[in-house]
């Protein structure tokens, strides 16, 4: 049996001790950092309020195609090319900075 298997009682204990609130808060702050880092990029429009670990944005199709070559994300609405970028408990500021730098580099090479 796997000694590292996550047991349901562990989750309950974490919730009782407030750890889940801490993780949720961290992930939400990272998502807000991503949204803030995207401000001012004309080709990226944040389409929904950032209230969780998801950032929804409308981007040009060409940007999505190029970005998909390096980063995985979901196209939420193909008719508007709205995408969903997810953050997790192990997403770092450096991850976000690299992602945003890749977006800016793709845009610069497209112009």
pLDDT, tens digit (0-9, with 9 covering 90-100), for 67-82: 999 999 999 999 999 9
Query: Phi then psi for 58, rounded to 5 degrees?
Result: -105, 125
Check whether 65 has a pLDDT greater than 90. yes
Give the mean model confidence (pLDDT) for residues 37-41: 96
Check whether 12 has a pLDDT greater than 70. no
Its pTM stands at: 0.76
Stretch among 20-24, 73-77, 87-91 having the lowest mean pLDDT: 20-24
Q: For residues 1 and 27, which has the higher predicted lDDT (pLDDT)?
A: 27
Label residue 88 by pLDDT band (50, 70, 90): confident
Query: Residue 26 has what pLDDT?
Result: 53
Q: How many CB atoms within 10 Å of residue 98? A: 13
Output the six-digit token pair for 65.
């195609």
Label residue 19 by pLDDT band (50, 70, 90): very low
Question: How many residues does the structure list for the chain?
Answer: 111
Task: Provide CB contacts within 8 A for 48, sequence distance 6+.
Answer: 54, 56
Long-range contacts of 53-57 (CB under 8 A, 24+ apart): 53/24, 53/27, 53/28, 53/86, 53/87, 53/88, 54/84, 54/85, 54/86, 54/87, 55/31, 55/84, 55/85, 55/86, 55/87, 56/82, 56/83, 56/84, 56/85, 57/82, 57/83, 57/85
Label residue 25 by pLDDT band (50, 70, 90): low
């Amino acid at each position: 049996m796997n000694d590292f298997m996550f047991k349901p009682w562990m989750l309950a204990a974490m919730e009782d001790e407030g750890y889940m609130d801490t993780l949720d808060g961290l992930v939400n702050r990272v998502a807000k950092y991503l949204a803030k880092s995207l401000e001012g990029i004309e080709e990226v429009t944040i389409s929904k309020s950032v209230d969780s670990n998801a950032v929804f944005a409308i981007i040009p199709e060409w940007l999505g195609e190029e970005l998909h070559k390096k980063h995985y994300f979901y196209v939420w609405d193909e008719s508007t090319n709205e995408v969903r970028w997810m953050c997790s408990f192990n997403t770092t500021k450096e991850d976000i900075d690299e992602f945003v730098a890749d977006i800016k580099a793709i845009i610069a090479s497209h112009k």
